[in-house]
């Protein structure tokens, strides 16, 4: 009887080992297929309400967030996604005021630095969709890095942001692609 018990135990152990290797094989196959897929591909995204076209990757999340910019509470419409170790966002909101575009853009950069409890590492004039823009790099309070490109047109402030592992060459290339893909259009007219 002891012999029968040992044979039954050996069969169960053999089945457990086979099951273990089957599960292990499934995990490896899943990870391999994930690895072979690579990063999500870039594609064009059009926002009729926002009046822009921009390249995005992966799944996109959209939401409204109220923020203070230039001493005003503004409801921003956000579009967010991730690619690799970088999180991307595009936000737009209507900002009223008498300020010049240059002073409003500088204020928007300062407001963003305060929002992330960080400091502005660099700031310079740039262009976005062939219009004057302000570009900044901000070191956030949690030591992460945020790249910001702001543009104001017709009372609407656009902010393109990328944060995360931004110093890796491929990520830097992707950030530039995201920033340079941004285009404006007037809803209801032919898009560029």
> Whole-number mean pLDDT of the chain?
84
Average pLDDT over residues 174-184: 96
| Residue for token pair 């259009």 | 185
Higher pLDDT, 10 or 79: 79
Q: Output phi, psi for 96, to 5 deg.
A: -95, 165
Residue 50 in 3-state DSSP?
coil
CA atoms within 13 A on the CB side of 136: 23
- What pLDDT was estimated at residue 32? 43
pLDDT exceeds cutoff 60 at 20: no
Cβ neighbours for 4, distance < 8 A, ≥ 6 positions apart? none
Average pLDDT over residues 165-185: 91
- Rounded CA separation 97/103 (Å): 11
DSSP H or E run through 153: strand 145-153
For 56-86, write each residue's pLDDT tens digit.
999 999 999 999 888 889 999 999 999 988 9
Average pLDDT over residues 85-110: 90
For 29-44, write each residue's pLDDT tens digit.
444 444 444 778 999 9
The pTM assigned to this predicted structure is 0.76
DSSP H or E run through 7: helix 2-37
- What pLDDT was estimated at residue 145? 93
pLDDT exceeds cutoff 70 at 157: yes
């Amino acid at each position: 009887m002891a012999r029968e018990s040992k044979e039954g135990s050996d069969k169960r152990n053999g089945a457990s080992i086979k099951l273990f290797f089957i599960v292990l094989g499934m995990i490896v196959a899943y990870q391999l297929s994930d690895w072979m897929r690579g990063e999500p591909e870039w594609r064009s995204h059009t926002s009729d309400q926002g009046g822009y076209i921009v390249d995005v990757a992966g799944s996109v999340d959209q939401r409204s967030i109220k923020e203070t910019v230039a001493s005003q509470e503004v409801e921003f419409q956000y579009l967010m996604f991730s690619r690799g170790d970088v999180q991307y966002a595009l936000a737009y909101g209507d900002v009223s005021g008498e300020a010049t575009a240059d002073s409003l853009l500088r204020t928007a950069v300062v407001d963003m630095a305060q929002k992330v409890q960080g400091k502005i590492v660099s700031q310079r004039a740039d262009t976005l969709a062939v219009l004057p823009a302000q570009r900044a790099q901000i070191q956030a309070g949690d030591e992460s890095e945020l790249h910001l490109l702001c543009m104001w047109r017709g009372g609407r402030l656009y902010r393109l942001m990328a944060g995360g592992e931004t110093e890796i060459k491929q990520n830097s290339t992707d950030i530039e692609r995201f920033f340079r893909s941004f285009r404006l259009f007037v809803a209801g007219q032919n898009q560029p």
